[in-house]
A and B are shown apart, each in its own frame.
Chain A
Amino acid sequence: MDRIPVLRMGPLLLITIQVDMHDKLAIQLQDDVTNRISEWGSTGVLIDISSLEIVDSFIGRMLANIAAMSRVLGAETVVVGMQPAVAITLVELGMSLPGVQTALSVEAGMELLYGAVTTGPENERGEA
């Protein structure tokens, strides 16, 4: 059975979900994440769902579970890149994923996990 790869980047775990997941794959991912956090002592989990065109209640619960389990193991989770149509549908479905932190992009997600403050491009240009 194929798995969704969990990559390590320093203290972070990086997961990019690109396939239309069937339920077993989702459960496998939950297991893998918790195992890896234990194994590598990760303190942050970044899940990129920018390619996901559908998030139903099962996947939504998976994301909430990963966030909750990771927190118990001492790691923070950020879900990034949710597509507008998906966000609108999830809300209509009744899911708000309260325990899950979110960010617009992988970059923003990493800043959140590293605790950095967004400074914005104008500082680089030298303008006020």
Chain B
Amino acid sequence: MIRMPPELGTALERLGDELGVLATRARNGLRYLAGDPLGEIAATPREPVWSRDKVVLYRYSKGAARMRTPVLLVMSLVTRPYVFDLRPGSSLVEDLLDAGYDVFLLDWGVPDAVESSNTLETYCDEYLPRAAQAVLHITNADRLTLFGYCFGAVLSLISAAAHPGFPVKNMVVMATPVDLSRLGPLANMLSKGRMEPEDLFDETGNVPASTMLDGFRLISPTSELSTLANLWGSLADERALAAHQALIGWANEQIPFPGAVFAQFVHLFLRRQLLMKGRIPLADREVALARIPCPVLNVLGERDTLVPPESSAPLLDALHGVELDTLTLPAGHAGLFVGREARKKCVPAIIAWLDQRD
């Protein structure tokens, strides 16, 4: 009988292990390419409780009745809101529910030609105040917490400042673009007047999702490389791959930006920088952001490349006189509330701030 040298046995064992990992990568890679869902997305049960046009207000339900101040999550206009409840175990909604808050989500829907004429007034004077009233009506609370993300934070700030009776107890604004000139090359071209907002509209009168995505990609042109490296790294681990698929899937799933409000953002906030000055013309009046009647928590991500901290920093001047706390966290744009770091540091810090004021 021939005896195998022990080194050869070890080498064969390692080769077997490597082939096993390679086979797992190949299988998972095929599943990823085929678009096979690798994990649950937006799994927390919810029900629609109010709607107006395409805007739907959802209430998340989990367990017993909640006595704490209800939280209304307000999404940006260009991305889908399911990122707030991305995956079980990596969900802001779940964390807020676990902390005892009653959680509502305002979903703007996907705009088409009908929504192309939606303006700041549509969102800040019509949808947001009415959705807030619906939350109070359903919960019997007298005030709520407004929790805005990205452009949703801008809309929340304007709406709360524009309505003296807005029933808001606290505000959390996350990754808020205030100095829009910091939002990359596309913003730069628009601010210098080389492009007009209308140049970017499609036949529906909106800025198409693909144009928004191209604009974001220009901010970090080599980010695809690290995304691909992260994908390769997570192919051997099904849980990591599911997390990657969920987050990258969301980031690539932009929605069109309603044309009229996009034009207002360009003219008012990018070219005239009125958001930085804290004075915004809305309908036939001027809204002063400094009139926000509640404490505000401004959450920034140190590694946010889409809305860098320098873009949110002028909020301090715009909200002069308002009780403003700033929380700078070691995270990127979505990493503020998605992922392991968010669960360990970011979300607990936000919940602690809310708890103090509840």
Q: Is the pairing of A and B real?
A: no
